[in-house]
Amino acid sequence: MKAFLILLLFCISSAQAQVVIEKPFSAELSHPELTIESIELYSDSTVINLAIVNNADSNGWFCADKNIYIENLNTRQRYYRIGSRGIPICPATHNFSRKGETLSFALIFPAIPQNLNSINIVEDCSKACFFFKGVILSNKLNSDIRLFNQGMEYYTKNNIPQALECFSKVVDDIPANPTHVYGYAFYHLVMIYHSMGDSHNAGFWLNQLKTSALPNKDYFIRMVKRDTGLE
């Protein structure tokens, strides 16, 4: 069995992933210092690359429980860990030498359906267990969330031209399963132009919101009406 796992890990490391999701966002997570660097989808396996930063002043340690699974949010089917790289399995531990040290490692699971929009990743244990809920498996969605966040940074720094550019790029191509950022991008476009006294562009973006395919667009239309009086 051990020889089989070694062979499996070698094959995975030498194969080329069919899909790679870089730095995916999660709706909820347990440990902010633990991040998903990438998810690699192969025909016969799923590899999740993670990194943990030690925040302890002394005696910091980390390990991965043997019971970690990916959960299909559509069917609730669980895919349990079949291998790992660079991380001890509890009760063995990796002991950090200093605060701020980063440990990078990989968890390996069976293949999952490649049409999933999101997954949960759960460490099934009794103490200090980690989880990521609603991990987005779309590079398009993750890229647009990143772009929206950048737009918000520009907006808070009063760099309005750059904020407008980011928000308009976010809504330029709305995917089939959009997140909340598309509605908020429309909302901020309307609000910014309205605050500038540019009724033409404010009305244009409100109309774009109304005619969009966003499933929750009525919520954002009501927000615009509440905050601007525009209909």
DSSP letter string, the chain = -HHHHHHHHHHHHHS--SEEEES---SEES-TTEEEEEEEE-SS-EEEEEEEE---SSS-EE-B-S-EEEEETTT--EEE--EEESSPBTTS-EEPSSTT-EEEEEEEE----TT-SEEEEEE-SSSS--EEEEEE--HHHHHHHHHHHHHHHHHHTT-HHHHHHHHHHHTTS--SS--HHHHHHHHHHHHHHHHTT-HHHHHHHHHHHHHS--TTHHHHHHHHHHHH---
- pLDDT of residue 137 exceeding 70, the answer is yes
Lookup: tokens for 202: 């404010």
Average pLDDT over residues 64-72: 97
- pLDDT of residue 15 exceeding 70, the answer is no
Average pLDDT over residues 225-230: 96
Average pLDDT over residues 157-173: 97
pLDDT digits (tens, 9 = 90+) for 170-193: 999 999 889 999 999 999 999 999
Return the domain boundaries, the chain: 2-137, 140-228
- pLDDT of residue 10 exceeding 60, the answer is no
Q: Please state, rounded to an integer, the average pLDDT across all residues of the chain.
A: 93
pLDDT digits (tens, 9 = 90+) for 81-129: 999 999 999 999 999 999 999 999 999 999 999 889 999 999 999 888 9
pLDDT of residue 9: 52
pTM for the model = 0.84
Classified by CATH at the fold level, domain 140-228 comes out as: 1.25.40
pLDDT of residue 145: 97
2-137: CATH class: mainly beta
pLDDT of residue 176: 87
pLDDT of residue 17: 73
Query: Same CATH fold, 140-228 and 2-137?
Result: no
